Amino acid sequence: MVMLLLKFQSVAFSILFVVPLLFSGMPAFAQPVTEEEAPDEAIEAPEEAPEEPIEEGDETIQEELPDDLRSDNFLSLSTGEQLMEQASEAIDEEDYETAKERLQTARRLSNQLSNFYQQLGGTFQGINTRLSEEQRQKAVQAARMRDRATYQLGLVHRSQQEPALAIPLFIQVIRSQNPTSELGSQAYQQLYDLGFVDTPLEN
């Protein structure tokens, strides 16, 4: 009876030793590598990736500016307003190609300004409330200028029977300005007039 019990214990011990080998595919006494034993390559990434540096003024925008606006201080809201005025004058003269060029440049410039002011305002958040709010307001102002230029560019494309180019521009305005805003509702009305949407916007 004692011999039988010893044999049973021997078999049981063998099973306990072999089963881990069958399922783990690793030596029975191998241990997982701890953080201290991990190779140098297994360095953890930082919790937050560093922000991309702000690029300098886009030289391609400066090249697109008319000679009277091409200066070292072209990155400004006043430059965008002058581009909008020149576009309006070109529309009055039915010079639609010039109008499109001015509006496209105004869109790019004001969009870049909005991004720059937003990044700058975020830098001062929690440090200087007045400076942070001031930059945020400029970012909003630049974004509105961008949306006005986008809307005007859509109108020019529509006047030239180019609805496929106008419709995406009007949608951009609605997404940015909100359908209930004055400019957003005007953009939606353009989509309705073009037959792109079936239901008028209720006031």
Distance, in Å, from the CA atom of 21 to the CA atom of 18, rounded to the nearest integer, reads 5
Other beta carbons within 10 angstroms of residue 92's beta carbon come to: 9
Among 89-93, 125-129, 132-136, 138-142, the range scoring the smallest mean pLDDT is 125-129
Which letter does DSSP use for residue 103 in this model? H
> pLDDT > 70: what percent of the chain?
67
Question: pLDDT class for 143, splitting at 50, 70, 90?
Answer: very high
Scanning the structure block, which residue is given the tokens 């190779």? 39
Instruction: State the average pLDDT over residues 134-155.
Output: 96
What is the predicted pLDDT for the residue at 85? 96
| Tokens (6 digits) for 162 | 């180019």
Q: Quick one: average pLDDT of 56-78?
A: 70
Alpha carbon distance 201, 69 (integer Å) = 39
Calpha distance 142→150 (Å, rounded): 12
Q: What is the mean pLDDT of residues 191-201?
A: 94
The mean pLDDT value for 46-54 works out to 36
The predicted model scores a pTM of: 0.68
Work out the average pLDDT over 82-93.
Answer: 95
Widest CA span in the chain: 114
Confidence at 113, pLDDT banded by 50, 70, 90: very high
Residue of 100, 81, 80 whose CA lies nearest to 91: 100
Cβ burial, residue 151 (10 Å; 0-12/13-18/19+): buried
Alpha carbons 83 and 66: distance in angstroms, whole number: 9
Q: Which of 169, 195, 197, 196 is nearest to 183 (CA)?
A: 169
Distance, in Å, from the CA atom of 68 to the CA atom of 90, rounded to the nearest integer, reads 16
Mean pLDDT of the chain: 76
Per-residue pLDDT, 25: 41
pLDDT digits (tens, 9 = 90+) for 10-26: 444 444 444 444 444 43
